[in-house]
Structure 1
Amino acid sequence: MNYLGGLQTVPVEVSIKNGRRAHHLSWQENGFELINSTSDVQNWSNDAEVARVYYDEMSNLARALTGCDHALVAGHISRNPEQADLHEDYAPIAFVHSDFTDNYDDLLIQRYRQNSAEADAALSSSGITVEDMARAKRLLILQFWRNVGPEQMDYPLAFCDAQSVPRADMHSIHVPNYAGGDFAFDTFAVTPPASQETHDWYVFPNMTRDEAVAFRTFDSEMVAAGTPYWTPHSAFLDDTAGDNAPARRSIEVRATCLFF
């Protein structure tokens, strides 16, 4: 895995376990879990179809998993060779990170107040306003990662048990314009573990389109309590897939779960 070392990344050898054999994993305790999740999307390259069908599916799944009152889904990221050609940020991210830091709830509400088309659509479908969102007692970000390409790929995504990564290993770095966008935020870069086995890594091999990994990247309640809300993750080169392994094709959506 590539970790943060000073001002650059440093490769660190770690053990990665088969998550399919680890039946204890849950997004509440460990930060992530594998979910059986079918979808009615027929063409994952059709952004309009994904927005029309998949957003509602993942909003419903987020509500079922968390018990939240509303789950806003606004936008998605497809990672595949075609998208990577458009912007390098859409290539698999082979760097250990967790997406958001302690101030993300405030930044996200500011983002929704900017009245982007995607944000307006998410609020409209939920029947709430930005001010309702700001009054929520708890804001949790639950993300969903789905493989929509070949089951074995060149750069699968691995997840690290949140409980195995202390706050001292998490370092905030600023992202001014991810993929050329206008939304600036802070993300956690992760420094190397004390020993090879300290950080507890898992991958779910041969994922199908009827599965998704749910993983938590922010929880205002856990921020207030000082408990690990982060879920470090990273793509890695799967040397068992061979030199001609097909390129990864995946889709990510983020559900903003609101509790009133």
Structure 2
Amino acid sequence: MSAVQATLEYLQKLPLYKVEKPYWCFLAPKEGFDPDAKRVDNLEFEHHSGITINNIRDLPNKPEIGDCGFEVLSHESKLSRFREGDDITQYRLETEDLLKEALGAVHVKCYDSRLRKNVPFQRSQLDLNDPLLIEGPARGVHNDITYDSGPVVIARYLSEEDQAKYLKDGYRVRIVNTWRTLVPVLEDRPLALCDSRSVDPEDCVAADRIIPNMFGEVYYLTYNPNHKWFWLEKQTPSEPFVFVMYDTKDGSHARFCPHVSFVNPFSRKDATPRESVETRSIVITQE
């Protein structure tokens, strides 16, 4: 299979966003409040069909994170299921070692992780601080960090000692995502990655993301037919993605990587529902 024609979800180009910044609140349910029933955002998406998503397996030259913003690593994780909080801790440490080797980093701080599963959720309680919390696939083409929120994230999670040591000339700081399927062969809701070189700055719309005790900013993308999309057919757990979300180094190289999951038109009806684990890490290299 060379490529698929699929439907992707983009942020609408609404006049509203000229006067009101897009926002999304992720709040836990409580008595009298059900976030599934009451909207806590002003995001309006639209579906664009017939988008070509190229198969990475068919490319003569494999993508590299410094060029297009993403690449596929070869790595066997020691963890395939997450039943205890310590499993998440160990996976984050494993991720730090992986990124040190793959990107030649002198320091890596894995500060966040997400477990996702493509199944309906019906729950009356939600602990947003639970490292084992399972969420559904994220909506809309997006990049998890903006040029404004990147420095905030770095200052939040790097120790004062590490900031004094690395936040100066001679070091490059990136925030990267690693994304790994937890099913043996992924067919259902795979991840699509956009070549950052095909993105116009005007396609990126900053949006507030609000959770209890924390505030962040992400980019949602509006549709542009020039966007070039890629996926990895029948991805396995030993083929994790790594893609950049923020980069302190100026230049024409990839400094972010829009992404979103999509409905695979060739997925079998009885395919195992997508399960995945992703991490967010601060990666520092010496320049």
TM-score normalised by the shorter chain: which range applies?
0.7 to 0.9
User: What does residue 103 of structure 2 align with?
Assistant: 66
Q: CA deviation at 1:59?
A: 1.0
User: What does residue 274 of structure 2 align with?
Assistant: 248
The AA in structure 2 aligned to 1:185 is G
2:229 to 171, 177, 201: 201
Unaligned runs of 5+ in 2: 1-7, 15-43
User: What does residue 116 of structure 1 align with?
Assistant: none
Contact 1:83 1:90 in 2 (8 A): no
CA 1:3–1:103 in structure 2 vs 1: closer, same or farther (change >3 Å)?
Answer: same
Point out the structure with the larger helix share: 1
Mapping of residues 126-145 of structure 1, within 5 Å: 128-132=161-165, 134-135=167-168, 137-145=171-179
* Secondary structure of the corresponding residue to residue 156 of structure 2: helix
1:176 to 200, 210, 219: 210
* Secondary structure of the corresponding residue to residue 79 of structure 1: strand
Q: CA deviation at 1:150?
A: 4.2
User: 2: distance between equivalents of 1:94 and 1:105?
Assistant: 21
The AA in structure 2 aligned to 1:11 is H
Contact 1:109 1:134 in 2 (8 A): no
Q: Is 1:3 equivalent to 2:34 in the alignment? A: no
Mapping of residues 216-231 of structure 1, within 5 Å: 216-222=244-250, 225=251, 228-231=254-257
Q: Cα RMSD over matched residues?
A: 2.6
Q: CA deviation at 1:108?
A: 1.3
User: What does residue 214 of structure 1 align with?
Assistant: 242
* Secondary structure of the corresponding residue to residue 62 of structure 1: helix
TM-score where L is the length of structure 2: 0.74
| Mean Cα deviation higher: 153-162 or 134-143 | 134-143
Q: Which has the larger radius of gyration?
A: 2
User: What does residue 51 of structure 1 align with?
Assistant: 89
Contact 2:154 2:282 in 1 (8 A): no
Q: What is the aligned-residue identity percentage?
A: 23
Flag the structure with more relative contact order, 1 or 2, with Cα contacts below 8 A and sequence separation at least 6: 1
User: What does residue 101 of structure 1 align with?
Assistant: 146
* Secondary structure of the corresponding residue to residue 176 of structure 1: strand
User: 2: distance between equivalents of 1:166 and 1:239?
Assistant: 28
CA 1:105–1:150 in structure 2 vs 1: closer, same or farther (change >3 Å)?
Answer: same
CA shift digits 1:184-234 (9 cap, x unpaired): 1111111101x3xx1111111211121100101110113xx4754120100
TM-score where L is the length of structure 1: 0.82
1:191 to 198, 206, 222: 222
Q: CA deviation at 1:245?
A: 3.0
CA 1:204–1:42 in structure 2 vs 1: closer, same or farther (change >3 Å)?
Answer: closer
User: 2: distance between equivalents of 1:202 and 1:42?
Assistant: 25
User: 1: distance between equivalents of 2:48 and 2:134?
Assistant: 22
User: What does residue 162 of structure 1 align with?
Assistant: 196
CA shift digits 1:61-104 (9 cap, x unpaired): 21222222101112311102589555899211131011111123
User: 2: distance between equivalents of 1:48 and 1:89?
Assistant: 16
User: 1: distance between equivalents of 2:87 and 2:176?
Assistant: 22
User: What does residue 115 of structure 1 align with?
Assistant: none
Q: CA deviation at 1:240?
A: 1.4
Q: Across the two proteins, how many residue pairs are aligned to each other?
A: 239
User: 2: distance between equivalents of 1:173 and 1:11?
Assistant: 19
User: What does residue 29 of structure 2 align with?
Assistant: none
User: 2: distance between equivalents of 1:186 and 1:230?
Assistant: 14
